[in-house]
């Protein structure tokens, strides 16, 4: 019945949507996607590009986490210098150049208060490649185990990666299992003895919940007890702006599972923190103990039973034989300034939190609701993402309907969320000069649908 009314309301507004109704309809049809609302991030990007091109109208783009800021200047300068020195003609070492490894090790000490020797600090082609390489080793170190447990909602491509590899995985939406409740939920999976690795992002993409020390301790303790490896994805490191994580070597530090187990790998992307997405470089940080741990079952795939050795000379060698030489020097240049305290990267990215406050308000004033709205007992923080819904709509239908209003997002359905009514909004690409247009379009949507 609700769907029928939605259909009627859509049909009656055919000529009067901010973006030409017929063109949007035709582009959706031409996309070949059976359900546009379940499209991947990149599929939505492509569709919106095409609608923009055909209509000449700019969208308020909230579907993809592209940094909306300039790249960290120290990185650009260091890369140019490195290229002028001629590094482009040389193969970089797979484990990373010395300067970078040392700066990564310093960074985790100064911003997470964790000691990892440079050996276990390895550049990857974005955190995307970090997770791919991780699965290739963590899910193959014990033939009795089957795969990754994702603490969802999560970044959809990470599941695409395990599917492509043919690994098993399981997942659950953490929202109803916060705090101490997380322990019994995790145990239901770990007790099967089949979980080789546990992956989550913190702050969380897409819900922006931030795990507490209590929760990280639960994850760490259980990982040790059940011999699973935690892959902690810190793509949004330091961006829980309710705390000031910006001072090197001074508390508070970015919370991390590394304080509670030795069974960890951290993935620290440079894409968002340093607006360096285009250079495709991230950091993989493996605990000293895990790096040197031996897993006889790794010999099924690699020449060594050593964990760290298999990551570098097995997985990363096979994937790309290292990371672009100049990008490594670029990231080393950024980290040096950040570590020395001469560049406060968090000051730059705080803008995302400021935009989230304004954008959330606009949505709420126009009949929308926040989906993941609480961080245990506090309102969810303002950061890179927020999640929203509109009464009477599923997320999948809402995504499609919003396209006629020139607003794009992704459905929570593709993130492993149990909140099927929701969409994820990413604030980064929305410029402040688009706020007025966003507000006008949201108002019109509200008027047309209430
Ligand atoms: C949670 C999460 N992990 C990993 C990534 C990928 O990062 P990178 O650009 O370093 O590959 C992203 C990018 O959006 C992300 O949101």
Write the CB contacts of 437 (distance below 8 Å, at least 6 apart in sequence).
58, 60, 406
11 — pLDDT class (breaks 50, 70, 90)? very low
Residue 68 has pLDDT above 90, yes or no: no
Residue 350: CB atoms within 10 A of its CB come to 17
432 C-alpha to ligand 1 centroid (Å):
24
Mean of pLDDT values over 293-317 = 98
Q: Which of 1-5, 230-234, 352-356 has the lowest mean pLDDT?
A: 1-5
Q: pLDDT, tens digit, for every residue of 261-293?
A: 999 999 999 999 999 999 999 999 999 999 999
Give the mean pLDDT of 101-129: 98
Nearest atom of ligand 1 to the alpha carbon of 277? 9
Output the pLDDT for position 307: 98
pLDDT in tens, 141-192: 999 999 999 999 999 999 999 999 999 999 999 999 999 999 999 999 999 9
Does the domain at 73-340 match CATH 3.40.640.10? Answer given as: yes
Q: How far is ligand 1, taken at its centre, from the CA of residue 127, in Å?
A: 6
- Residues 333-345: pLDDT tens digits? 999 999 999 999 9
| Secondary structure of residue 267 in the 3-state scheme | strand
The pLDDT of residue 34: 80
Where in the sequence of the chain do the CATH 3.40.640.10 domains occur?
73-340
Structure confidence by residue, pLDDT tens digits, 287-303? 999 999 999 999 999 99
pLDDT at 12 (0 to 100): 40
Which whole number is the average pLDDT over 190-209?
Answer: 98
Ligand 1 centroid–CA 235 distance in Å is 6
Q: What is the pTM of this model?
A: 0.94
How many Å apart are CA 201 and CA 89, to the nearest integer? Answer: 36
User: CA 382 to CA 389: how far, in whole Å?
Assistant: 17
- The token duo for 385 is 């993402």
Summarize the confidence of residues 89-93 as an average pLDDT.
96
- Domain 2-61+348-448 adopts which CATH fold? 3.90.1150
pLDDT above 50 for 113:
yes
User: What's the chain's Rg over C-alpha atoms?
Assistant: 22
CA of residue 297 to ligand 1 center, whole Å? 29
Hey, how many other C-beta atoms are within 10 angstroms of the C-beta on 404?
25
- pLDDT value, residue 4: 46
| Nearest-angstrom CA–CA distance, 411 and 51 | 19
Beta bridge partners of 265: 231, 286
Residue identifier of the C-alpha nearest atom 14 of ligand 1: 65
| Segment 427-440, tens digit of pLDDT | 999 999 999 999 99
* pLDDT value of position 14: 57
Instruction: State the pLDDT at residue 8.
Output: 46
Q: Is the dihedral of CA 64, 276, 158, 369 positive or negative?
A: negative
Residues with CB under 6 A from ligand 1: 65, 126-128, 155, 201, 205, 233, 235, 269, 271, 277, 282
In the chain, DSSP finds a helix count (H) and a strand count (E) of: 16, 15
Take residue 153 and report the two structure tokens written for it: 């909602």
The CATH 3.90.1150.100 domain(s) of the chain lie at: 2-61+348-448
């Amino acid at each position: 019945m609700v769907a029928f009314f939605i259909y009627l309301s859509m049909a009656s507004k055919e000529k009067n949507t901010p973006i030409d109704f017929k063109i949007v309809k035709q582009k959706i049809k031409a996309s070949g996607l059976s359900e546009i609302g379940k499209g991947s991030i990149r599929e939505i990007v492509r569709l919106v590009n095409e609608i923009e091109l055909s209509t000449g109208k700019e969208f308020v783009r909230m579907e993809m986490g592209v940094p909306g800021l300039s790249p960290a200047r120290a990185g650009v300068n260091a890369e140019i210098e490195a290229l002028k020195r001629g590094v482009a003609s040389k193969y970089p070492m797979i484990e990373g150049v010395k300067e970078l490894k040392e700066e990564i090790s310093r960074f985790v000490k100064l911003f997470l208060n964790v000691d990892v020797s440079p050996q276990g600090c390895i550049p990857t082609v974005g955190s995307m490649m970090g997770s791919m390489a991780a699965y290739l080793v963590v899910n193959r170190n014990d033939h009795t185990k089957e795969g990754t447990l994702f603490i969802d909602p999560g970044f959809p491509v990470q599941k695409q990666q395990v599917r492509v590899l043919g690994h098993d995985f399981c997942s659950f939406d953490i929202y109803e299992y916060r705090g101490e409740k997380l322990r019994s939920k995790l145990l239901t999976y770990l007790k099967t003895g089949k979980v080789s690795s546990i992956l989550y992002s913190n702050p969380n993409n897409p819900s922006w919940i931030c795990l507490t020390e209590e929760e990280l301790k639960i994850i760490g303790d259980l990982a040790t007890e059940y011999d699973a490896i935690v892959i902690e994805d810190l793509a949004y490191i330091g961006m829980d702006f309710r705390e000031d994580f910006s001072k090197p070597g001074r508390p508070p530090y970015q919370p991390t599972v590394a304080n509670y187990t030795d069974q960890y790998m951290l993935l620290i992307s440079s894409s968002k923190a340093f607006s360096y997405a285009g250079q495709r470089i991230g950091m993989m940080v493996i605990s000293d103990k895990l790096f040197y741990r031996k897993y006889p079952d790794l010999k099924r795939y690699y020449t060594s039973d050593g964990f760290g050795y298999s990551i570098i000379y097995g997985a990363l060698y096979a994937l790309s034989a290292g990371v672009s030489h100049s990008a490594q020097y670029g990231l080393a240049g950024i980290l040096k300034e950040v570590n020395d305290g001469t560049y406060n990267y968090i000051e730059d990215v705080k803008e995302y939190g400021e935009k989230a406050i304004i954008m959330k308000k606009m949505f709420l004033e126009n009949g929308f609701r926040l989906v993941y709205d609480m961080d245990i007992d506090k309102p969810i923080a303002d950061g890179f993402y927020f999640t929203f819904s509109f009464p009477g709509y599923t997320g999948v239908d809402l995504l499609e309907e919003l396209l006629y209003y020139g607003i794009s997002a992704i459905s929570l359905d593709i993130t492993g969320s149990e909140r099927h009514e929701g969409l994820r909004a990413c604030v980064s690409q929305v410029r402040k000069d688009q706020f007025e247009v966003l507000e006008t379009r949201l108002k019109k949507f509200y008027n047309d649908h209430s």
